[in-house]
Structure 1
């Protein structure tokens, strides 16, 4: 029995010691490094853009604006672990038809990162929806096209249900919450959460952020290491958004599945899915299209969970050629 106990304890002690050692080493993460990584991502954008820290209630949301307001507004929301610069490859093409407002959700990117103190999925949902509504009021936007990817798709759909009068066209790209069930491997991964592992890894953290993003990294047009550095800096920043997300996504199911409510969406909805998405199956899109009154489903071949970066041209075409596009 003593040998068995020692056999379990020794690896635990060694692992704890190794993690402790990593914590003593200098980390390459900092607010300045995040701003630099973001700037390198945005260097591919040819259109003039401006940054704005928008007061949204008690917090500030980092926003990039492209255009002078003469074209219909398009509000873009990134997914879990991302920031507005993930859409860098899309800005120029979409700016042909829209004034772009790319927003970093509360608790992510360079937006404020307050400690989320809620205990339920409903509180997490409201945290993002109400901060986005406060942002809208500050920006004085009445109606707009709202695009959300993955977790941002969940927030976009939730916002459209809460404030339908402000959403003229809803675009959901590989959105979260389009099924009640969650594959346990995904539920466990997001409940660790991955950001905590990256922080614990200290200087080894940058090597971990490519996990699950292989296609996106492989097809990246940015200088080598730019994309992974950007994701790393976001992940290594103080914990905030991922804490709220854990209240929405359990190990085996969503606390508030969006699929249960999509029938109530009154505006036209464009669903975009990567055919090879293993995180959020395209079958969820098929079910959603059957439920949403006015909708279209575009499945993009040769794309996985992030078609905006894996197949950007097809992603642009899906948006700009939509019969629901506001002109």
Structure 2
């Protein structure tokens, strides 16, 4: 199934999944972290939708004290395959099954017509199918790592349908935490046009699809601009050769050029400037019984101070509320996967399900220079070098 004009091809998307997972598997084996991947297309009960996921388990390590999986939830415009190296790293670090899931309307999941009109029904559009997928997979308890828009949705899941199911929640560079500034000035005609396009629901995907046979080249230029000085090993997708970068470009092209669906949620959830219409600073204080970790990159365009303010004020009732800054940009899990995986794994191990364990409340951890970890006492904020 595909499109002659856009060059989107679902079979090609399947092939690039297999190519990248095979490459990461081989790389993990060579580094002594043997893992096994498994792709799954789960048909939901209504027979209309399929949710795609990638599972990963270590071949030699298993945590006998914790058999609940770790779920990875991607952000806007991304997909589960971008977590390939994190899947392997987390499976090795924790000895637990790790599952990366494509939200409905994204990645290799079904792409039905988007029906959301307001914030609440847009959130439900994603979470209804996600929870149905969870039930179909018989997942009662799990930990969650959710990035960007996925973090926004993941937070609402823990507040609603998933209440009591998630013990540990990691929000990686989450969108939608702070309030929008009191006054957002639009000073140029260009910005006014962009604001209108945003409100009309126009997305970058429209540009790629509209470019037809030239869409692939647009994605390639975007990848080179984003990762031009980054070798393929640090892309988190291993390989170290031209074919690896080609696979990454092909993957991003096919999930961008695929029929429009979940992408249209952006303007329903966020106002221009990427400020949430229903900000998490008002919602997360309602969270109960969850260990929470915010992770930001030291070159992140998301406002880490918003997470810090929240952790030190409205979230002190939680067992644990932490904020850490690690080397990287907004896609912090992709820039330095080994650092990200190590920190998240440590958080999970420190906040295991043992109710009698001692937990340290509201800490900020950071990296200085060569990723040396420094912990700071409660209610102490420090500046971290990059």
Query: In which range does the TM-score fall when normalised by the shorter chain?
Result: 0.7 to 0.9
User: Normalising by the residue count of structure 1, what TM-score does the alignment of the two structures yield?
Assistant: 0.84
| Greater relative contact order structure (CA < 8 Å, 6+ sep) | 1
Aligned length: 302
The answer as to 2:310 corresponding to 1:314 is: no
Distance 2:226 2:117 in 1: 35
Q: Is the 8 A contact 1:216 1:306 kept in 2?
A: no
Give unmatched runs, 5+ long, in structure 2: 26-34, 355-386
Distance 2:205 2:339 in 1: 30
Name the counterpart of 1:193.
203
Structure having the higher helix fraction is 1
Name the counterpart of 1:12.
none
Q: Residues 188, 158 of structure 1: CA spacing in aligned structure 2 closer, same or farther, 3 A cutoff?
A: farther
Name the counterpart of 1:300.
326
The answer as to 2:165 corresponding to 1:166 is: yes
Q: CA deviation at 1:283?
A: 2.2
Name the counterpart of 1:16.
none
Q: Is the 8 A contact 1:76 1:148 kept in 2?
A: yes
Q: Give the CA RMSD over aligned residues.
A: 2.6
Name the counterpart of 2:86.
90
Q: CA deviation at 1:62?
A: 0.5
Give unmatched runs, 5+ long, in structure 1: 1-23
1:102-141 correspondence to structure 2 within 5 Å: 102-141=100-139
Q: Is the 8 A contact 2:223 2:249 kept in 1?
A: no
From 222, 231, 256, give the equivalent of 2:278: 256
Name the counterpart of 1:324.
351
The answer as to 2:180 corresponding to 1:181 is: yes
Range moving further from structure 2, 213-222 or 233-242: 213-222
Q: Secondary structure at the match of 2:24?
A: coil
The answer as to 2:55 corresponding to 1:65 is: yes
Q: Residues 188, 175 of structure 1: CA spacing in aligned structure 2 closer, same or farther, 3 A cutoff?
A: farther
Q: CA deviation at 1:195?
A: 0.7
Q: Secondary structure at the match of 2:170?
A: strand
User: Normalising by the residue count of structure 2, what TM-score does the alignment of the two structures yield?
Assistant: 0.72
Q: CA deviation at 1:135?
A: 1.2
Q: CA deviation at 1:230?
A: 1.1
Deviation string, structure 1 residues 35-63 (Cα, Å, up to 9, x no partner): 22222332333221111112334321101
Q: Residues 227, 181 of structure 1: CA spacing in aligned structure 2 closer, same or farther, 3 A cutoff?
A: farther
Name the counterpart of 2:383.
none
Q: Secondary structure at the match of 2:263?
A: helix
Q: Residues 295, 67 of structure 1: CA spacing in aligned structure 2 closer, same or farther, 3 A cutoff?
A: same
Q: Is the 8 A contact 1:277 1:305 kept in 2?
A: yes
Q: Secondary structure at the match of 1:276?
A: coil
